[in-house]
Structure 1
Amino acid sequence: MSIQTSLLILTISNSWIYSYNSMLLCLSNWTSNKSKTQIYTHSQPPYYPHF
């Protein structure tokens, strides 16, 4: 029983770490995309609308 419990805890913590890592990856991708679009819009001529 204790082995099963520890395995369950291990699996839960692994999935939590995985979801946390994927969330971080998503966040970093989003911020880099945001900065890319900002750089892109700022490099446009001034008469282009800024979103």
Structure 2
Amino acid sequence: MTSIGQRILRFLRSTQGRRLAQQAQQFAARPENRRRLEQLRHRLDRRSRR
């Protein structure tokens, strides 16, 4: 059985995975979206410390 990491790598190397990664990069390139992502990251970080 393959590990979750191997499955993720296989997906990212696929056509669909590359397309999705490119969309994520385009999304993160916009300043307003980057700000939203930072806010989400901080919220999740605070939750994990509890």
Where on the TM-score scale, by shorter chain, does this alignment land: which range?
A: 0.3 to 0.5
Give TM-score scaled by structure 1 length.
0.40
The structure whose RCO (Cα within 8 Å, separation 6+) is larger is 1
If you compute each CA radius of gyration, which structure gives the higher value, 1 or 2?
1
Give TM-score scaled by structure 2 length.
0.41
